Structures are given as structure tokens and as C-alpha cells.
Amino acid sequence: LERANLAADQARQIVDKLLVYSRREDKAEQERVELSVIVKQTLELVHAQLRQDGVQVEVELASVPPVMGSSLELRQVLTNLLLNARDAALSPGSTATDSKIQTRCHDGWVYVQVLDHGPGVAPEIERRIFEPFFTTKEVGRGTGLGLSISHRIAVTYGGALEYEPPPGGGACFSLRLPALQA
């Protein structure tokens, strides 16, 4: 019964992600969003899970201008990125179990970056990581929708979700959104 409940929960999560992915709305309800607040809220949501897995997250929040977007969808993006960083930190080839999330502003853009010390993304699959249903996780561990949905959300709000391998290995995902002028 416990395994059936777990399987049903996994199926529900997959259906929920499919529904979000297939939604035809251009934009959810937009509001003025302070990304530092969204980062703190997201960390509160995933803190227990990260702690249970032994993953530490260094937080570096700069003073950045607000952006326009949906708080709910931006929390979803950061949750996906933080849980992917956790998975990378716990995978073979990881050099450390800590991750980092930081905010910064540059040339009219606000960035939230999530960095990990996992094995990184192999160059031969780098171009596919934002494709729907593409995953490197074993069966039952991922749907291949997290990065795809996150990328779509970023583009919806005039931004981007980008991957860049940091010097020394690991992965760095950057959510980039246009800064609101004061």
C-alpha cells in the first residue's frame, strides 16, 4: 500500500508538470517581485529536504532591483534549480555537497545563479538540457520537465535561463530577468 501511494504521488506530480507545461497562457498574473525575497522563500521550502540530504547552500544576496513576474512561477524555477543542484551534489563525480545561490544585477538585468560542485553537464548533451522530457536521471527520478518549464517561465517574463560550466567544474544555472527601473 505504501509503494502504491508513492507511485500514485509520483504520477500526480508528473501530471501536474505536464499540465503546467501544456498551459497556453502567455503569462501568469504578474506582479512586482523582489527576487531576494523569492530566494529566501524558496530556501525555506526546500531547507529541510536539503538538510536531510546533507547539502549546504551558501546564500549571497546582493541588493538588486525588482522584476516583473509571478512569485509562484519564479519560486518554481528556483526550487527546480536548487533540487537539481542537490541531486548533482549527491551524484557520483561530485567534489562537494555544498551549493551556492546568489543574486546580482548587471546592465539592466537581474540574475539569480545556482552553482553546484557536481559532475556538470557533459558537452554532448548541453544543447538538449532545456528540451521537454530530456533527463539524465534514472527512471523514476525525473520527468525531464523541470529545466524545460523553468526555461519557458524565464522567457515568458522577457528573460532567459542559461547554463554555463564554471571554472573548476560543476554547474551554474543563471535565471536572467529584466530589472524594473525605479
User: Over the stretch 101-131, which tens digit does the pLDDT of each residue have?
Assistant: 999 999 999 999 999 988 877 788 878 777 7
Residue bearing the bigger pLDDT, 21 or 132:
132
Residue 130 has φ and ψ, to the nearest 5°, of: -100, 5
Nearest Cα to Cα of residue 154 among 85, 73, 82: 73
Looking at residue 19, its pLDDT comes to 61
Residues 110 and 62 sit within 8 Å (Cβ to Cβ):
no
Looking at residue 14, its pLDDT comes to 64
Residue 144 has φ and ψ, to the nearest 5°, of: 80, 20
- How far is 101 from 112, CA to CA, in rounded Å? 7
Residue bearing the bigger pLDDT, 154 or 139:
154
Mark residue 171 as left, alpha or beta (left: phi above 0; alpha: psi -120 to 50; beta: remaining): beta
Percent of the chain with pLDDT over 90: 46
pTM score above 0.75: yes
Kindly give, in sequence order, each residue whose CB lies less than 8 Å from that of residue 162, ignoring residues fewer than 6 positions away.
173, 174, 176
